[in-house]
Structure 1
Amino acid sequence: MKTIVVVMGVSGSGKSTVASLLAERLGCAFQDGDDLHPRENVEKMSRGTPLTDADRLPWLQAIARHIDGWRERGEAGVVTCSALKRLYRDIVVGERRDVALIYLKGSQALIHGRLAARTSHFMPLGLLDSQFATLQEPAEDERPIVVDIGPEPSQIVREIARRLAERC
């Protein structure tokens, strides 16, 4: 069975870094979900305006189509998606039992510090509060692998790989 993984968490939790390292470790494709955002969404967030559920829907559907493409071709892959609400995860993961959900969990203070130091991303620091306000942590029935973001990315990736292997 080919592993398909969705790496979720608020902006600044390390999704892109961890997911790209995980894809490298697993020897599979990597897709940064942010690259699938419609241009209008990126512009809106760049202005400091939170996205609405309606704004997010085409983006979430694009990620789901990307995942389904991997599944149809029998390929493995790792994709990032903030997936802050259960509703969003239902679109991206849903009933796809072959897709693993990784939740990168960290404190607001830790993530605030990371975002404050970041200069190369369209997501402004001012939207972090709205991300945490929106966040609905994954429920047990979603079968998430919850990982603390405190350790170095390489340690986080080793932990995720170990826990994915336990599932097989």
Structure 2
Amino acid sequence: MSHLVATAAPVLVIAMGVSGSGKSTLAAGLGAEFGFRLIEADDFHPPANKALMARGEPLTDAMRAPWIDAMCDALREHRRNGDSCVLAYSGLRRAHRQRFRELGYPTLFLHLSGDQALIRGRMQARLGHFAPASLLDSQYAALEASSEEPDIVVLDVAQDIDRLHRQAAGRVRAFIAEHRRDGSVPRT
């Protein structure tokens, strides 16, 4: 595994997509490969949000606001500590994505996108997650297009996980190289 994190310029990589798109799996793999701190957005949901979603009820933007605030607070602290991070996060709303851009990190979004039927099948097959497949329609409805956001790379989730990881890791390597500061030393 390569550890390419530039200590002088921590970066933020966000694996985003609807529930069941594979963002947690991809983020964990990238975190391990690059030595980034892994942040799982689901860990920041208050219990009331999780209970609501477990009943198949989608969140409103007002319900998402404290969740976004908590993630931003945690990421600000990691930035102060010089930590590069990879965040597994839905990224459904354009305004919320902008909040992460304003944290002072160079930021790259990897949007895991794919056919709704494929993702629904994945959600139905997974065990132990609070979000049921019945939430998928509302997730797609809430997802605001990212086509005019140049820091978002769209990745097709229909490919196998190894190929998807290699493609994402290549994008992360290029992103790190682009944002590395003179005098930075890679962590080992």
Whether TM exceeds 0.5 here: the answer is yes
- 2:153 pairs with 120, 145, 149, which one? 145
Offset of residue 88 of structure 1: 1.6
C-alpha contact (below 8 Å) 1:106/1:149 kept by paired residues = yes
Could you tell me which residue of structure 2 aligns to residue 158 of structure 1? 166
- Contact 1:9/1:104 (8 A) holds in 2: yes
Q: CA deviation at 1:3?
A: 2.6
Residue of structure 2 equivalent to 1:36: 44
Residue 64 of structure 2 corresponds to residue 67 of structure 1: no
How far apart are 1:22 and its partner, in Å? Answer: 0.7
Aligned length: 168
Give TM-score, length-normalised by structure 2: 0.84
Question: Normalized per residue, which structure has more helix?
Answer: 1
Larger Rg: 2
Aligned to 1:54: 62
Residue equivalent to 2:4: none
**Does 2:89 align with 1:81?**
yes
Shift of residue 24, structure 1, vs aligned partner? 0.5
Q: Percent identity between the aligned chains?
A: 38
Structure 2 match to 1:12: 20
Taking the aligned partners of 2:13 and 2:100, their CA distance within structure 1 comes to 11
1:142 positional shift: 4.3
Encode CA deviations 1:63-91: one digit per residue, 9 max, x unaligned.
Answer: 11222122111111111111101022122
Contact 2:11 2:85 in 1 (8 A): yes
In the alignment, which of 129, 135, 138 is matched to residue 121 of structure 1?
129
User: Does residue 101 in structure 1 map to residue 109 in structure 2?
Assistant: yes
The structure 1 residue matched to 2:98, chosen from 75, 86, 90, is 90
Q: Alpha-carbon deviations, 1:38-64, whole Å to 9, x = none?
A: 111001111111101010000011111
Q: Secondary structure, in 3 states, of the residue corresponding to 2:149?
A: helix
**Stretches of structure 2 lacking an aligned partner (at least 5 in a row):** 1-8, 179-188
Equivalent-residue separation in structure 2 for 1:9 and 1:80 (angstroms):
9
CA distance in 1, matches of 2:62, 2:148: 26
**Aligned to 1:163, what secondary structure does the other structure show?**
helix
TM-score for the superposition, normalised by structure 1: 0.93
